[in-house]
Structure 1
Amino acid sequence: MSSIAENEKNQKQVESLKELSKRKVVEHNSLITSIAKMDKTPLKMFELAVSYIDTEEPPKDHTVYLSKQELFVFFKVDDSNKHTRFKQAVENMQKQAFFQIKEEAGKGFKFRSIVPIPYVEWTDYHDEVKIEFHREIMPYLINLKQNFTQHALSDIAELNSKYSIILYRWLSMNYNQYEHYSYKGGRRKEQVEAYRNPTISAKELREMTDTVNDYKRFQSLETWILKKPLEEINAHTSFNVTYDKVKKGRSIDSIVFHITKKFRADDNSYKLEDKTYNEAKAEKEQSEAQLLKLAIENRYTKLLLEQFLLTPFGMLETETMIGLQKNVYPKYDELKVLRGLEGVKKHISYVHDKQEPYSKGNIAKYLKKAIDQYLPTVKLQDLEQPERASVRGKGEIHE
């Protein structure tokens, strides 16, 4: 592929990522606590489709239109198999995906089994994908005045386990209520704290994750339903979550989660109670939004994309982009003053050629280390050879 075509492709992916990063998924709490009888891919596709719904202006005929480009970016599908994987995902969603919803009704409970998306239509020559929701699922997605949960689509995109997604949605439901009552009032302090430290019985956890007949030993259940999902949630979403096991006799009776939210107005996260809810939220959103916008628009981001040190998928990671904008790009500006833009390009190219596999786990940290090591060398060269300082990038000697 030519460099021009590659750049155009990257630009389209970046635009899709920017759009996805703004999206929210809003669902009724009954849907959050329902049993999702599907694997991770149909569940993520459902979440993506729901993010297209405007709750104030519900879609006509229960239909939304997705962008195929956004869908491929969301699922991180490469060119070689994206159409096959998309077709398989649609087939799986329609063959075996449904929600089993349990609601209080009179003296007992009413159970509903709903196939959420019975109809999907697309062509191989157009970007648009038509998705029609089942009429019975729509009340759980629109006209939500109370008992609903909102969460970030970009958080869901990074989760690669069905159990991670289910647990994240449930934790979001509780933390949403914590934020609501912290701000609005109407609950005693201990009730508000209970939303941030929610409890679920072992039985309810099994029912919600559809593992009633799986992982018979609690140790196995803990590994696959708690430990591994929380590792993903803590690494890729806005939450940090720990938990305690509560025993009844010799058995584990319930789980108590402890949720804190990552505030990154600076390098040190702080707890919500350190400031009022509005102050903390406003500071966090303003700071992150400004830094993220600057990072996406920065010329150095384009240079990193061209050298494949940063991928379009990596741009979904707010922490990575903010880290680049705060800690790396100012150093590139210093280098630009000393060696010109061409000097920055050569440095980035050199770092790409010498890149170690481990660096991909934290590219912002790796790039900061590289420029921190290189800048003193450049400055020393200019002290020892003053004529170099006026060259501005010509004849640059690398590490």
Structure 2
Amino acid sequence: MSIIPKNEQNQKQVLTLNELSKRKVVEHNSLITSIAKMDKTPLKMFELAVSCINTEEPPKDNTVYLSKRDLFAFFNVSDNDKHSRFKQAVEKMQKQAFFQIKEEQGKGFKFKSIVPIPYAEWTDYNDEVKIEFHREIMPYLINLKKNFTQHALSDIAELNSKYSIILYRWLSMQYNQYEHYSVKGGRRAEQVEAYRNPSISIKELRIMTDTVNSYKQFTRFNNDVLKTPLDEINAHTSFNVTYNKIKKGRSIDSIVFHITKKPVARNDFYKLEEQDPIYLQDKANKEQAEELLAGKALKSKYTKLLLDNMLLSPYEMTDTSLMAGLQAHVYPLYDELKELRGLNGVKDHLSYVSSKQEAYSKRNVAKYLKKAIEQYLPTVKRQDL
């Protein structure tokens, strides 16, 4: 069953800054909790490159293509020395930067040290930059079915500290799990709340931030690794985060974070729109229709099947337009398949779709699922004939 048409093998896709701003970074949790042996610039460059991986069609030769112009804009670089600074950043990333990953294996742990981007290529007369990932890093970036985290690239772009980025990725991992289990279930109430209020020991936090041998005085560690980075996160990302220091004896033993999501910003032109009764009526009618459809979708057995197969995330379930689209354009097709093959036929179809694609990479979930079922239904009908 073909779902996604194949592109030309040698097609290069250079992404614009506008597209990048809408992208998500998807990484395995082992990479989130690994030790990033690099400073902020290589780490941000890695996150930027990861956001450009299309997991629906994994990049040929583990390679993506970026624009120098958009790279400079992403890093907010505008001075005359930007080209030499870019060259220095790439060289530093390749010579010094690596992830130190620790994974459980058997009765102990397996340790890996991976240089994530060993090869980059560009010219002084062309805008294109070729970025090639190391083959060993790719399993942490594609074909992820469980234990992975997604976060917004636009949040990372505004962070100017290595510790801000590391903490933001870890907090995203925790809050993703809170959103997932809040909707899907499978955890006790106190376990779900623990994801929104995660705790980490000072020892683990020092390992993750690579500060075991630095910031020996807790006052400086607290300021440079916790307070200042969290101020940045609160100012520039979708999170509001506070924290408490937990003592054991006379020493600080661990940190408990408290994460909340900021409300979505209103449209810049809402005041003008509120003065237009025609706009308001159309808007109200559309919103009412979408809310009704979305309400039906939330109660549908198909929504649960999509969650079970990791084809829909709890975060996406908060998108009224998306859920309305599923109810209006996708679920009626699942009804057709159910009539032909029963509910198990729908389950088998979704299991197949899930096995072929990574759920959180879809830029338009409803469109993707509609295409998949539209391509499959004619095959089922021909077989029944």
CA distance in 2, matches of 1:86, 1:129: 11
With structure 2 as the length reference, what TM-score do the two structures score? Answer: 0.66
Q: Which runs of 5+ in 2 are unaligned?
A: 1-14, 268-297, 299-313, 324-385
Contact in 2 for aligned 1:183/1:278 (Cα 8 Å): no
Give the C-alpha shift of residue 110 in structure 1. 0.7
Go from structure 1 to structure 2 and tell me whether the alpha carbon gap of 1:164 and 1:180 turns closer, same or farther (over 3 Å shift). same
* 1:374 corresponds to: none
Go from structure 1 to structure 2 and tell me whether the alpha carbon gap of 1:244 and 1:104 turns closer, same or farther (over 3 Å shift). same
Give the C-alpha shift of residue 279 in structure 1. 9.6
* Pairing 1:211-222 to 2, within 5 Å after superposition: 211-222=211-222
Contact in 2 for aligned 1:27/1:140 (Cα 8 Å): yes
Amino acid at match of 1:256: V
Amino acid at match of 1:21: S
Amino acid at match of 1:77: V
Q: What SS does structure 1 have at the residue aligned with 2:318?
A: helix
* 1:21 corresponds to: 21
Establish whether residue 36 from structure 1 lines up as the match of residue 73 from structure 2.
Answer: no
Q: Percent identity?
A: 80
Go from structure 1 to structure 2 and tell me whether the alpha carbon gap of 1:161 and 1:195 turns closer, same or farther (over 3 Å shift). same
Q: What SS does structure 2 have at the residue aligned with 1:210?
A: coil
CA distance in 2, matches of 1:109, 1:150: 25
* 2:319 corresponds to: 282
CA distance in 2, matches of 1:214, 1:233: 22
Q: What SS does structure 2 have at the residue aligned with 1:220?
A: helix
Contact in 1 for aligned 2:238/2:262 (Cα 8 Å): yes
* 2:343 corresponds to: none
Kindly report the root-mean-square deviation, in angstroms, between the aligned alpha carbons of the 2 structures: 2.2
Go from structure 1 to structure 2 and tell me whether the alpha carbon gap of 1:17 and 1:128 turns closer, same or farther (over 3 Å shift). closer
Amino acid at match of 2:318: K
CA distance in 1, matches of 2:47, 2:320: 28
Contact in 2 for aligned 1:16/1:73 (Cα 8 Å): no
* 1:201 corresponds to: 201
* 2:87 corresponds to: 87
* 1:127 corresponds to: 127
* 1:118 corresponds to: 118
CA distance in 2, matches of 1:154, 1:46: 14
CA distance in 1, matches of 2:58, 2:319: 29
Q: What SS does structure 2 have at the residue aligned with 1:50?
A: helix
* 1:56 corresponds to: 56
Contact in 2 for aligned 1:265/1:284 (Cα 8 Å): no
Give the C-alpha shift of residue 126 in structure 1. 1.2
Q: Which runs of 5+ in 1 are unaligned?
A: 1-14, 268-275, 287-399
* 1:139 corresponds to: 139
Establish whether residue 160 from structure 1 lines up as the match of residue 163 from structure 2.
Answer: no
Amino acid at match of 2:212: V
Give the C-alpha shift of residue 55 in structure 1. 1.7
Deviations 1:156-182 (A, max 9, x none): 000000000000000000001111111
Q: What SS does structure 1 have at the residue aligned with 2:159?
A: coil
CA distance in 1, matches of 2:321, 2:173: 20
Give the C-alpha shift of residue 285 in structure 1. 9.7
Give the C-alpha shift of residue 250 in structure 1. 0.8
Larger Rg: 1
Q: What SS does structure 2 have at the residue aligned with 1:241?
A: strand
Give the C-alpha shift of residue 241 in structure 1. 0.1
Q: Which has the higher contact order (CA 8 A, sep 6+)?
A: 2
Give the C-alpha shift of residue 20 in structure 1. 2.1
With structure 1 as the length reference, what TM-score do the two structures score? Answer: 0.64
* 2:102 corresponds to: 102
Deviations 1:52-103 (A, max 9, x none): 1112221111111111121111001104122111111101101100000000
Q: What SS does structure 2 have at the residue aligned with 1:142?
A: coil
CA distance in 1, matches of 2:321, 2:224: 32
CA distance in 2, matches of 1:57, 1:257: 37
CA distance in 2, matches of 1:249, 1:138: 44
CA distance in 2, matches of 1:20, 1:64: 13
* Pairing 1:216-231 to 2, within 5 Å after superposition: 216-231=216-231
Contact in 1 for aligned 2:55/2:143 (Cα 8 Å): yes
CA distance in 1, matches of 2:38, 2:156: 15
Establish whether residue 171 from structure 1 lines up as the match of residue 208 from structure 2.
Answer: no
